[in-house]
Amino acid sequence: MFIIWLIVGILFGGMAGILAMCLVVAGAKCDRAMARARREMERNGYGKRKVIRFVDHFNNSLFCIQDGDPIQMINQKGERQFCICHYLDDTHAKIDGKAWQLQEFAKEMARNDVIYMPLTMRALEVKGGPALL
Protein backbone atom coordinates (compact mmCIF):
# COMPACT_ATOMS: atom_id res chain seq x y z
CA MET A 1 0.00 0.00 0.00
CA PHE A 2 2.89 2.32 0.78
CA ILE A 3 4.20 1.93 -2.77
CA ILE A 4 0.82 2.90 -4.27
CA TRP A 5 0.62 6.08 -2.15
CA LEU A 6 4.23 6.86 -3.03
CA ILE A 7 3.46 6.53 -6.75
CA VAL A 8 0.26 8.64 -6.38
CA GLY A 9 2.21 11.29 -4.44
CA ILE A 10 4.94 11.39 -7.08
CA LEU A 11 2.34 11.73 -9.86
CA PHE A 12 0.43 14.52 -8.10
CA GLY A 13 3.68 16.24 -7.14
CA GLY A 14 4.89 16.05 -10.73
CA MET A 15 1.59 17.44 -12.02
CA ALA A 16 1.69 20.26 -9.45
CA GLY A 17 5.29 21.05 -10.49
CA ILE A 18 4.33 21.13 -14.16
CA LEU A 19 1.34 23.38 -13.38
CA ALA A 20 3.56 25.73 -11.35
CA MET A 21 6.11 25.88 -14.17
CA CYS A 22 3.36 26.65 -16.72
CA LEU A 23 2.11 29.51 -14.54
CA VAL A 24 5.64 30.91 -14.19
CA VAL A 25 6.23 30.75 -17.96
CA ALA A 26 2.84 32.35 -18.72
CA GLY A 27 3.52 35.08 -16.16
CA ALA A 28 6.93 35.81 -17.69
CA LYS A 29 5.36 36.10 -21.16
CA CYS A 30 2.77 38.56 -19.82
CA ASP A 31 5.48 40.60 -18.08
CA ARG A 32 7.46 40.85 -21.32
CA ALA A 33 4.34 41.84 -23.26
CA MET A 34 3.47 44.55 -20.72
CA ALA A 35 7.05 45.88 -20.74
CA ARG A 36 6.98 45.98 -24.55
CA ALA A 37 3.64 47.84 -24.50
CA ARG A 38 4.96 50.30 -21.89
CA ARG A 39 8.07 51.01 -24.00
CA GLU A 40 5.88 51.55 -27.06
CA MET A 41 3.63 53.97 -25.17
CA GLU A 42 6.66 55.92 -23.89
CA ARG A 43 8.13 56.01 -27.40
CA ASN A 44 4.88 57.46 -28.77
CA GLY A 45 4.63 60.02 -25.98
CA TYR A 46 1.47 58.48 -24.55
CA GLY A 47 0.91 59.50 -20.96
CA LYS A 48 3.08 62.59 -21.23
CA ARG A 49 1.18 65.82 -21.06
CA LYS A 50 1.82 68.22 -23.90
CA VAL A 51 2.65 71.87 -23.29
CA ILE A 52 0.45 74.67 -24.66
CA ARG A 53 2.42 77.85 -25.42
CA PHE A 54 0.25 80.95 -25.20
CA VAL A 55 1.28 83.95 -27.24
CA ASP A 56 0.25 87.57 -27.64
CA HIS A 57 -1.21 88.93 -30.87
CA PHE A 58 2.34 89.52 -32.21
CA ASN A 59 3.15 85.82 -31.59
CA ASN A 60 5.49 86.58 -28.67
CA SER A 61 5.48 83.85 -26.02
CA LEU A 62 3.64 84.76 -22.80
CA PHE A 63 3.42 81.57 -20.75
CA CYS A 64 2.99 77.83 -21.10
CA ILE A 65 0.61 75.44 -19.39
CA GLN A 66 0.26 71.70 -19.60
CA ASP A 67 -2.53 69.99 -21.48
CA GLY A 68 -5.67 69.92 -19.34
CA ASP A 69 -4.68 72.86 -17.13
CA PRO A 70 -6.96 75.90 -16.78
CA ILE A 71 -6.46 79.55 -17.63
CA GLN A 72 -8.42 82.47 -16.27
CA MET A 73 -9.73 85.28 -18.41
CA ILE A 74 -10.67 88.64 -16.94
CA ASN A 75 -12.75 91.07 -18.99
CA GLN A 76 -12.79 94.87 -18.66
CA LYS A 77 -15.62 94.70 -16.11
CA GLY A 78 -13.50 92.48 -13.86
CA GLU A 79 -15.55 89.36 -14.47
CA ARG A 80 -13.53 86.16 -14.39
CA GLN A 81 -13.98 83.07 -16.49
CA PHE A 82 -12.03 79.86 -16.04
CA CYS A 83 -11.33 77.71 -19.08
CA ILE A 84 -9.79 74.28 -19.43
CA CYS A 85 -7.26 74.05 -22.27
CA HIS A 86 -6.37 71.00 -24.32
CA TYR A 87 -3.40 70.63 -26.64
CA LEU A 88 -4.20 70.07 -30.32
CA ASP A 89 -0.82 70.85 -31.87
CA ASP A 90 2.00 73.37 -31.41
CA THR A 91 -0.10 76.33 -32.64
CA HIS A 92 -3.64 75.18 -31.79
CA ALA A 93 -5.49 74.43 -28.57
CA LYS A 94 -9.03 73.73 -27.51
CA ILE A 95 -9.94 76.46 -25.03
CA ASP A 96 -13.21 76.02 -23.17
CA GLY A 97 -14.33 73.47 -25.76
CA LYS A 98 -13.56 75.62 -28.81
CA ALA A 99 -10.57 74.99 -31.09
CA TRP A 100 -8.37 78.08 -31.52
CA GLN A 101 -5.23 78.98 -33.41
CA LEU A 102 -3.33 80.51 -30.47
CA GLN A 103 -2.37 83.76 -32.22
CA GLU A 104 -5.99 84.25 -33.35
CA PHE A 105 -7.09 83.63 -29.76
CA ALA A 106 -4.67 86.35 -28.63
CA LYS A 107 -5.98 88.78 -31.27
CA GLU A 108 -9.58 88.10 -30.24
CA MET A 109 -8.77 88.61 -26.56
CA ALA A 110 -6.92 91.88 -27.34
CA ARG A 111 -9.85 93.06 -29.46
CA ASN A 112 -12.27 92.39 -26.58
CA ASP A 113 -9.91 93.78 -23.88
CA VAL A 114 -9.69 90.41 -22.13
CA ILE A 115 -6.63 89.50 -20.07
CA TYR A 116 -5.74 85.82 -19.89
CA MET A 117 -3.27 84.11 -17.58
CA PRO A 118 -2.53 80.66 -16.17
CA LEU A 119 -4.61 79.65 -13.20
CA THR A 120 -2.18 77.14 -11.74
CA MET A 121 1.19 77.79 -10.18
CA ARG A 122 2.64 75.04 -12.37
CA ALA A 123 2.67 77.36 -15.38
CA LEU A 124 6.05 77.61 -17.04
CA GLU A 125 7.37 81.04 -17.82
CA VAL A 126 8.73 81.12 -21.36
CA LYS A 127 10.97 84.15 -21.28
CA GLY A 128 13.92 84.42 -18.89
CA GLY A 129 13.34 84.25 -15.19
CA PRO A 130 12.15 81.59 -12.80
CA ALA A 131 9.51 79.09 -13.79
CA LEU A 132 6.46 78.80 -11.57
CA LEU A 133 6.33 75.20 -10.40
Write the DSSP symbol of residue 90: T
Domain around 24: 1-48
Please provide the distance, in angstroms rounded to a whole number, between the alpha carbons at the two ends of the chain.
76
**Is residue 36 one of the residues assigned to a domain?**
yes
CB atoms within 10 A of CB 44: 9
| pLDDT tens-digit readout, 1-44 | 888 888 888 888 888 889 888 888 888 887 888 888 778 777 76
The four Cα atoms 54, 59, 60, 61 give a dihedral, to 10 degrees, of 20
| pLDDT tens-digit readout, 101-122 | 999 999 999 999 999 999 865 5
Q: Please tell me the distance from the alpha carbon of residue 10 to that of residue 14, in angstroms, as a whole number.
A: 6
Q: How many domains does the chain have?
A: 2
6/68 same-domain check: no
**Is residue 10 one of the residues assigned to a domain?**
yes
113 three-state secondary structure: coil
58/44 same-domain check: no
pLDDT at residue 64 is higher than 70: yes
Q: Does residue 114 contact residue 73 with C-beta atoms inside 8 Å? A: yes
**Is residue 1 one of the residues assigned to a domain?**
yes
Confidence of residue 53 (pLDDT cuts 50, 70, 90): very high
> pTM for this structure?
0.57
**Is residue 133 one of the residues assigned to a domain?**
no
Q: Please tell me the distance from the alpha carbon of residue 104 to that of residue 14, in angstroms, as a whole number.
A: 73
Strand ranges in the chain using DSSP code E only, listed in sequence order: 51-55, 61-66, 70-74, 80-89, 92-95, 98-101, 115-118, 124-125
| Beta pairing partners, 96 | none
**Is residue 78 one of the residues assigned to a domain?**
yes
Mean residue pLDDT of the chain comes to 83
CA distances from 12 to 18, 38, 67, 87 (A): 10, 39, 57, 59
44/67 same-domain check: no
110/74 same-domain check: yes
**Is residue 2 one of the residues assigned to a domain?**
yes
Q: Does residue 123 contact residue 107 with C-beta atoms inside 8 Å? A: no
Segment 67-88 shows an average pLDDT of 91
Among 9, 32, 48, the domain boundary falls at 48
